Chains A and B, each alone.
Chain A
Amino acid sequence: MACSLTLGSKFSENGCLFTCGDGSFGQLGHGDYNSHCLPEKVSYMNSRHVWQVACGMRHSLAIVNDDLGCQVHGFGSGKRGQLGISVDKVRSINVPQAALGLDDAKIVSIYADGDHSAALSDDGRLYTWGRGFSGASDIHIPQCFNANLSLREAALGWNHALLLTADSEVFVLGSYGNGVLISPDTNIQRRNRSEESEEGVISRIPGLGSSKVLQIAAGAEHSALVTDDGSILTWGWGEHGQLGLGDTVDQSIPQIISFGEEVAAPRFLCEVYCGSGFTYAIRTPVVVDSEIS
């Protein structure tokens, strides 16, 4: 299940897609530009098995996987290329249409946020389309991200993407460096230190030491991750307290969130999720075998 600012999508057990919310850009996929207050079945997808959806600011993506094949469909606003359906500029479409350029890939995950779209293939390659990162030009047809990284997970913000490698390392793609709103001057310095590629600037997240990263999450302008020692770290835009660090300061380096525990606190299994300007975490105490007996 995925949610954007204006759209909610869900699917039933047999893979039918339902959407509701703001449809003014066709992002509900009902063949019109109307909004719906109740979930409504996307009839275009009636005979298809939908097994994953992702919602951006004004567009939607869905993976269909059935006898007719496995495809990524896009609908809604396409102005920045985020639907991936045509080399030409598409203002918007209101029925799902298959994205191009993914025929050779077995897509296992799709991502959408802001005007960005991305997909991850079963062999760890990332495809991106939509608004260009780091001021790069928009990508209208999904493009394999040209980096020697085998990826396990991706997370999109409005101006950056986090990439989690199979080796549990995290990289960031995008001009806002570490998901922080920074001035252009700082940006130039940062560019020099980063590996420049056609698709944008990719850099390793600083300050993580040898920690292995288990999970990543991206808000519009902030980021969060979980490390293998059970810590949750956040960085980026902090104006609304979304970093959970007790203040409203922006952070360029990941900071450990304190949950105010006494010493010898139990170990927790942590998960972290970001909304556009907020963050939440789930911590489940790990029961050690010796405690049971």
Chain B
Amino acid sequence: MSPAAQQPILETRGLGVDFGGLKALDGLDLAVYPGEIVSVIGPNGAGKTTLFNAITATVAASEGDILFEGESLIGLDPNRVTSRGIARTFQNVRLFANMTVLENVMVSQHCRTRQSVFGALLFTKAFRNEEAEITERGKEVLSFFGSRLTGYRFDQPAYTLSYANRRRLEIARAMATQPKLILLDEPVAGMNPTESAELTGLIGRLRDEWGFAIVVIEHDMEVVREVSDRVVVLDHGVKIAEGDYADVSADPQVIEAYLGRGASV
């Protein structure tokens, strides 16, 4: 499922991120095609999360270009990137903890809504329609995760959720921004095997049913093998391998990056 003829939805060209001399990313070329699930793996400090931060404009790229649907994202504010259609989750779950579950998915539709102060004050029909619409869409997104985030949970503050549910809500919040591309930063970290197996299935369904292109950072190789169309391996900010799971996992350079030189002999 690598329609090479198609235009990539996301493309980085020679992307570099420099933290005061430390090259967190160096000359990275990466392409993600519509409807594709790409895993980014690599040892700690390889620059995986920095890649996400650069794409979402949380850190500035020091060289190279990031193209989304053929247009550059360089110089945009994070919120503009989101409204172009890229959503993300965070490695260390960062929900709006004191807002309710439903409010979390409502507020992330901010860039898709237009009502101003006056709509809210005059309680116009347009305002009410929009509120109803985002409530509806919020509930739809939450029901993707079964009954865990629905019903009485709608009105519970996010911090009351269990760890796994918080992770699920983070994905729901990203989905609610109506993206074309979702960046998942270690979605199954800290989950038990049952939960992570379930979430692996959900990642596939995200692509099949919702049509998102997905980039996943993941350490759990089970999950990576299960979901990925393609795997990209980073080490010290440089891409050292790319291909399907079987190829990449046999690549001596990858084994070396993970296990060190002596171990492969």
Asked if A and B bind, the verdict is: no
* Interface residue ranges, B against A (CB under 8 Å): none
* Interface residue ranges, A against B (CB under 8 Å): none
